[in-house]
Copies of this chain bind each other. A is one copy, B any other.
Amino acid sequence: MRYSNATNYALHTMIHLMLQPGGSPVGVKELAEMQKLSPTYLSKILTKLAKAGLIESTPGAKGGYKISRTKQEISFLDVINAIEGDTSLFDCSIHHEGCLIENVMRQAEENMKAELESKLLIDIAKEAQAK
């Protein structure tokens, strides 16, 4: 099991948008070329991010995408949930109520999610810019 490629693309795209000077939106074509993806495929990912409220889209000429929320608010977990959906890593289909094994797995999952929620994109963006 592993996170999908789409999540990887989404994270990189978000970082890139954050490093964009001014409020001018960036077109899908430009974003797609950077990661060597087809614009239509990346569009699907961007649409998910937009529906989650992480970015804003403006159609038409000179349109594109830009960060919508205050940059300081967006965490890794926000992006992951937007793409993967917030499903749980483990469901015990055998015992339908209060499986002890499921409890342990859920607890471990929470530990990971907590870490991902505390990490903000803006910090990584600044770090990347410094290089």
Instruction: Give residues in A with beta carbon < 8 Å to B.
Output: 1-5, 7-8, 11-12, 15, 35, 76, 84, 87-94, 100-101, 104-105, 107-109, 111-116, 119, 124, 127-128
Q: How many copies does the complex hold?
A: 2
Closest to A118 in B: B108
B8 near A93 with CB under 8 A, answer yes
User: Is A94 a contact of B2 with CB atoms below 8 Å?
Assistant: no
The residues of B that contact A84 with a CB separation of less than 8 Å are 1
Shortest Cβ distance from A54 into chain B, in angstroms? 15
Can you add 6 more A-B contacts, CB < 8 Å, to A1-B84, A1-B89? A1-B87, A2-B87, A35-B94, A107-B119, A111-B111, A111-B114
Q: What separation, in Å, do the CA atoms of A94 and B8 have in the docked complex? A: 9
Closest chain B residue, CB of each to CB of A117? B108
